Amino acid sequence: MSNQFKLTILGSGSALPKKDRFQSAHLLEAHNKLFLIDCGEGMQIKAFQTKSNLSRLGHIFISHLHADHCLGLVGLISSLGMTGHRTNIEIHSAPELENLLKPQLDFFCQDLGFDIIFHPFNPRKKEIIFEDRTLIVKTLPLKHRVPTCGFIFEEKPKERHLIPEMIEAFNIPIKELPLIKKGGDFITEDGEIIENKKLTRDPSPSKKFVYCSDTLFLPKIVSDIENADCLFHEATFSEEEVLRAKKTYHSTAKQAATIALNSNAKKLVIGHFSSRYPNIEKIIDEAKSVFPETIATKDGLQIYF
């Protein structure tokens, strides 16, 4: 389905990568566009492994300036340059990132066939940081050891569905249809008003994807992220480490599930697992005990919604 969203996990690990869990990186495909959310070291390699075609990549969103969320950027850009990428790369992040990358970009990434455009945002404010014909991306301030944002990807309200029999019955000319799809009434030659609700059905609901990067358990975000079709929430620790989670400004799996439950998410995706866990069975079980519709990430996993 063309309006399906696809989330590819390129890195499900946390600060310390493991052999099978790279650092944070997520690829969101929506409306034929590709968005990269965080870019840990080795992201470009995982993109190869998952056969992700990056030629349509244009916008990159960096949740916060910790090494495990952004050290893959220069390598990615260097490789995009070598493979003839033509789409500008626009990087949305806290302001400091530009100065951190600039010396390396200037040195290692010359003669690119595209521009690199930095769009700094204030991680302490809720802002709309991207908007096109079909999508809006907003920041969601979180609470971590450094200024950190989640991101809310929302489809704009869609057009109403025409009821073909009614369009035919009223003999409505094609040129009127775009306005009717947008909710307009139809006025016949005789001046009769045919109400839109007779001609159309409600549009498909708009999709919402929420990405909650590294954060302390933060119940107050619930009102901002309600009814997500898919909520990604970090779950660095198991409930046994709830104090360590608090101390390091991270969440447990149960806390992630609580956010999903209280915000009425349809699906919860957890990741950013601490390298201390040889396997994450326990973490999954803890989340599912609160929110059964939980999916645990692993590198290469693709989730459709």
Q: Judging by beta carbons within 10 Å of its beta carbon (0-12, 13-18, 19+), is residue 104 exposed, middle or buried?
A: middle
Q: Give me the 127-156 binding string for a second copy, x by CB under 8 A, dash otherwise.
A: ------------------------------
Indicate the DSSP class of residue 16.
S
Instruction: Point out the catalytic residue in the list 38, 68, 229, 299.
Output: 68
Neighbours of 211 (CB within 10 A): 27
What is the nearest approach in angstroms of a second copy to the Cβ of residue 48?
A: 5
What is the nearest approach in angstroms of a second copy to the Cβ of residue 259?
A: 27
What is the nearest approach in angstroms of a second copy to the Cβ of residue 14?
A: 10
Integer Cα distance of 18 and 33 in angstroms: 30
Is residue 9 within the footprint of a second copy (CB under 8 A)? no
Is residue 112 within the footprint of a second copy (CB under 8 A)? no
Among 87, 86, 88, 78, smallest CA distance to 44 is for: 78
Helix, strand or coil for residue 235?
coil
**Contacts of residue 177, Cβ cutoff 8 Å, sequence gap at least 6:** 162, 167
Is residue 248 within the footprint of a second copy (CB under 8 A)? no
Is residue 53 within the footprint of a second copy (CB under 8 A)? no
Is residue 5 within the footprint of a second copy (CB under 8 A)? no
What residues between 70 and 109 interact with a second copy by CB under 8 A?
71-72, 74-75, 78-79, 82-83, 96, 99-100, 103-104, 107-109
Q: Write the secondary structure of 116-140 as one string of H (helix), E (strand) and C (coil).
A: EEEEECCCCCCCEEEECCCEEEEEE
Integer Cα distance of 55 and 260 in angstroms: 33
Strand ranges across the sheet with 33-39: 116-120, 89-93, 57-61, 33-39, 25-30, 6-11, 302-304
Among 33, 65, 136, 206, binds a second copy (CB under 8 A): 65
Q: Which is nearer to a second copy, 83 or 289 (CB)?
A: 83
Integer Cα distance of 184 and 92 in angstroms: 36
What residues between 13 and 52 interact with a second copy by CB under 8 A?
15-19, 22-23, 41-42, 44-45, 48-49
Q: Is 68 a catalytic residue?
A: yes
Q: Judging by beta carbons within 10 Å of its beta carbon (0-12, 13-18, 19+), is residue 279 exposed, middle or buried?
A: exposed
Is residue 66 within the footprint of a second copy (CB under 8 A)? yes
Number of residues that bind a second copy (CB under 8 A): 33
What is the nearest approach in angstroms of a second copy to the Cβ of residue 51?
A: 9
Is residue 113 within the footprint of a second copy (CB under 8 A)? no
- Residues forming a β-bridge with 270: 233, 296
Q: Which is nearer to a second copy, 70 or 257 (CB)?
A: 70
Among 160, 228, 226, smallest CA distance to 198 is for: 160
Instruction: Return residues touching a second copy (CB under 8 A).
Output: 15-19, 22-23, 41-42, 44-45, 48-49, 65-68, 71-72, 74-75, 78-79, 82-83, 96, 99-100, 103-104, 107-109
The residues that are catalytic are: 68
